[in-house]
Amino acid sequence: MQPSLYVALSAQVALERRLNTVANNIANINTGGYRAEEVKFDTVLSQVGTGNVAFASPGETYTSRRAGPVTRTDNPLDVAIQGDAWMAMNTPSGLVYTKDGRMKMTETGALQTMDGHAVVDPGGAPILLNPEEGEPTIGRDGMITQRNNQVGAIGLFRIDNASQLSRFGSSGVKSSMPATVVQDFTATGFQQGYAEGANVNPIMEMTKMIMISRTFDNAAATISETESSLMSAIRSLGPST
C-alpha cells in the first residue's frame, strides 16, 4: 500500500483525538475551575524504501494550567486563587487539587467543595467551622476567622511544572508528584467573595473545531484520491484476462 495512505490515516487519528478534547472543553465552559485539555503532537519517522516518511502521532493529552476568568460572587464561602497555586480536597482517591474555590459548610460545620469533598488545611486535615458563629472571613493566606477567632486555614499548594496531571471529576486534578505548601503570599493567595471559572476560550475552541473538521475532511479526500489512483494503476498494469 502507498505510504501516503498511512500518512493520511495517521493524520485522521490525531485529528479525531484533538476534536474530542475540543468538544470536551466546549462542554465544560461553564464548569467552575475547569482546566482545559490540550493535545501535544509529535512527528514519527518511519523508514520506507530509500526515504523517510513522516507520520502524525496520536498525540499526548495534557491539562492546561493557564488561569481562568475570575468573577465576583460576594459569597463568603467562595475564594479565587491568585497566582500559580491550588486548593486541595480529600477524596476516596486521595488528595486532589482544584482551582474551583466554591465551598459550602455542612450542618456540623465541615467545610466542603460543592461536590461534597472535604477542603483541607496546609497539613492535609479537614477544616471544621462553627455553624453558629456566622459567616467566616478568609484572609489572603487562607486563614479563617469567625467573630475574630481563628478557626482554621485553607491550604494553598504549588504543583511542580514537571508533574503530570490527571483529571479527577469535573475540576480536580491529581499530581504525579507531591505538591508543596505555599508559605509566601506576596504573589499568591486567596481572594474571598470571588470564584474562578473554566480557562476555556469559547471563540478559540469553536475556531479550532472548524479548522479540525476541515482538515479531517481534507485528509479523507486525500485517502479517497490515493485509493482511486492505486486502483487505476492496478487495472492498467495488471495482467489482462
The most confident of 11-25, 33-47, 69-83, 221-235, by mean pLDDT:
69-83
> Computed from CA positions of residues 186, 189, 190, 191, in that sequence, does the dihedral angle turn out positive or negative?
positive
Q: Which helix (H) or strand (E) holds 87?
A: strand 87-91
User: For 124, left (φ over 0), alpha (ψ -120 to 50), or beta?
Assistant: left
What pLDDT was estimated at residue 38? Answer: 87
Q: 150 and 45, same structural domain?
A: no
Range of the structural domain that residue 129 is part of? 70-196
What pLDDT was estimated at residue 15? Answer: 81
Q: Which of 196, 200, 198 is nearest to 209 (CA)?
A: 200
What pLDDT was estimated at residue 59? Answer: 65
Residue carrying the nine cell digits 487519528: 13
Cell numbers found for residue 78? 467562595
pLDDT at 51 over 60: no
Q: Which helix (H) or strand (E) holds 163?
A: none
Q: Which of 90, 85, 119 is nearest to 102 (CA)?
A: 119
What pLDDT was estimated at residue 60? Answer: 76
Q: Which helix (H) or strand (E) holds 180?
A: strand 180-181
Cell numbers found for residue 25? 472543553
Q: 187 and 121, same structural domain?
A: yes
Q: 138 and 59, same structural domain?
A: no
Q: How many H-runs (helices) and E-runs (strands) does the chain carry?
A: 2, 20
Cell numbers found for residue 67? 488561569
Q: Which of 36, 26, 74 is nearest to 195 (CA)?
A: 74
Q: 152 and 175, same structural domain?
A: yes
Band (pLDDT 50/70/90 cuts) for residue 5 is low
d(CA 29, CA 222): 34
Q: 186 and 74, same structural domain?
A: yes
Cell numbers found for residue 146? 469567625
Q: 122 and 144, same structural domain?
A: yes
Q: 51 and 111, same structural domain?
A: no
pTM for this structure? 0.80
pLDDT at 222 over 60: yes
CB 177 within 8 A of CB 159: yes
Q: What is the mean pLDDT of residues 185-206?
A: 95
Cell numbers found for residue 14? 490525531
Coil/strand/helix, residue 27: helix
Q: Which helix (H) or strand (E) holds 12?
A: helix 3-27
Q: Which of 40-49, 146-155, 195-204, 226-235 has the least mean pLDDT?
A: 40-49
Q: 189 and 206, same structural domain?
A: no
Mean pLDDT, rounded, of the chain: 87
Residue carrying the nine cell digits 490525531: 14
Total domains in the chain come to 2
Based on C-alpha coordinates, what's the Rg of the chain? Answer: 25
Residues paired with residue 175 on neighbouring β-strands, in sequence order: 165
Q: 101 and 7, same structural domain?
A: no
What pLDDT was estimated at residue 45? Answer: 46
CB 230 within 8 A of CB 15: no
d(CA 88, CA 1): 53
Q: 169 and 136, same structural domain?
A: yes
Q: 223 and 179, same structural domain?
A: no
Q: 192 and 204, same structural domain?
A: no
Residues paired with residue 120 on neighbouring β-strands, in sequence order: 126
